[in-house]
Amino acid sequence: MATLTLNRPKEMNAFDADTARTIVEAVEGFAADTDVRVLVVAGEGPSFSAGGDFNWVLTWPSLDAITRRVGADAMMGAVQAIYDFPKPSIARVHGAAVGGGVGLMLACDFAIAASGARFGLTSARNGLLAGIAIPVLIQAVGPRVARQLLMHGGLFDAATALRLGLVDQVVEADALDETVATLAGELRRGAPSVQALVKKLITEIDATPHDSTAADLVGEHVARQCVTEEALEGMSAFLEKRRPRWAV
């Protein structure tokens, strides 16, 4: 298990272009490291992440349009890098997750929150658009609820986040690390090639018409996966009543 910790506690882990690029570099490094099976995204200090750094965004009026777009693309890239990470990922959420911080959280495959955590897509109240959170927000809660959250802009508690489907589990703060570690351990029992394939396929199928095209796509991968080294090892381990080698 590797942990990517947002480390700007004085800024509530808000991020600018440089921070976003650092996130991308770190995620790419973890993706290439075969010893890393699960990625945890966490925040240092009192909060998970406040999203985009206002002190940075306030400099944008003095910048040209291309430079502003580069900055926006950098923030989008950080969320996309976590979303595209080919291994399981878990958001460890405490304190506040706001705006782009919600985007980083939802880019992870799982989100576990402390009971005292607060959430919000507050940008509309600041005259901004929480754009970097929109794609993953729609995927998590659907278009209708996404519109409501983005237009309302208010904060809400962890119980509401759980009800809406923004987080998968809410625990007491002192149980947060143990709960995340337990889930990471469970995820390490899955075959890495299958987990990577699931993440790739779900995205492809979601963008495919629900007709024979999707069935053909899945059938092709099922037939191919059944003869891989991990599939043969997994079936043998089951029959021999032992754990497969990747889960030991």
Structure tokens at 166: 């923004």
Residues 182 and 201 in one domain: no
Structural domain count of the chain: 2
Q: Specify the pLDDT at position 62.
A: 86
Query: Residue 139 pLDDT more than 80?
Result: yes
Q: Specify the pLDDT at position 206.
A: 80
- Percent of the chain at pLDDT exceeding 90: 63
Task: Report which of 75, 143, 67, 137 is spatially closest to residue 102, judged by C-alpha positions.
Answer: 137
Is residue 170 classed as helix, strand or coil in its secondary structure? strand
pLDDT, one tens digit per residue, over 82-114 is: 999 999 999 999 999 999 999 999 999 999 999
In this prediction the pTM is 0.90
Q: Specify the pLDDT at position 129.
A: 81
For residue 240, the enclosing domain spans: 192-247
Residues 175 and 221 in one domain: no
Q: Which of 160-164, 208-212, 231-235 is the least confident region?
A: 208-212
Residues 113 and 134 in one domain: yes
Residues 75 and 97 in one domain: yes
Residues 221 and 149 in one domain: no
Residues 129 and 61 in one domain: yes
Evaluate whether 158 touches 111 at the Cβ level (below 8 Å): no
Residues 214 and 128 in one domain: no
How far, rounded to the nearest angstrom, does the alpha carbon of residue 57 sit from its chain's CA centroid? 23
Sign of CA dihedral 20, 23, 25, 31: negative
Q: Specify the pLDDT at position 214.
A: 67
> Which CATH number do you get for residue 8?
3.90.226.10
Residues 121 and 220 in one domain: no
Residues 116 and 232 in one domain: no
Residues 86 and 125 in one domain: yes
| Boundary (domain end) residue, out of 187, 207, 224 | 187
pLDDT, one tens digit per residue, over 229-241 is: 887 887 788 788 8
**Average pLDDT of the segment spanning 210-216:** 69
Compute the distance between CA of residue 219 and CA of residue 236 in angstroms, rounded to an integer. 23
Contacts of 150 (CB under 8 A, 6+ apart): 121, 123, 124, 130, 134, 137
Query: Residue 167 pLDDT more than 80?
Result: yes
Q: Are strands 118-120 and 155-157 parallel, antiparallel or unpaired?
A: antiparallel
> Which CATH number do you get for residue 207?
1.10.12.10
**Average pLDDT of the segment spanning 70-82:** 90
Residues 143 and 22 in one domain: yes
Residues 231 and 183 in one domain: no
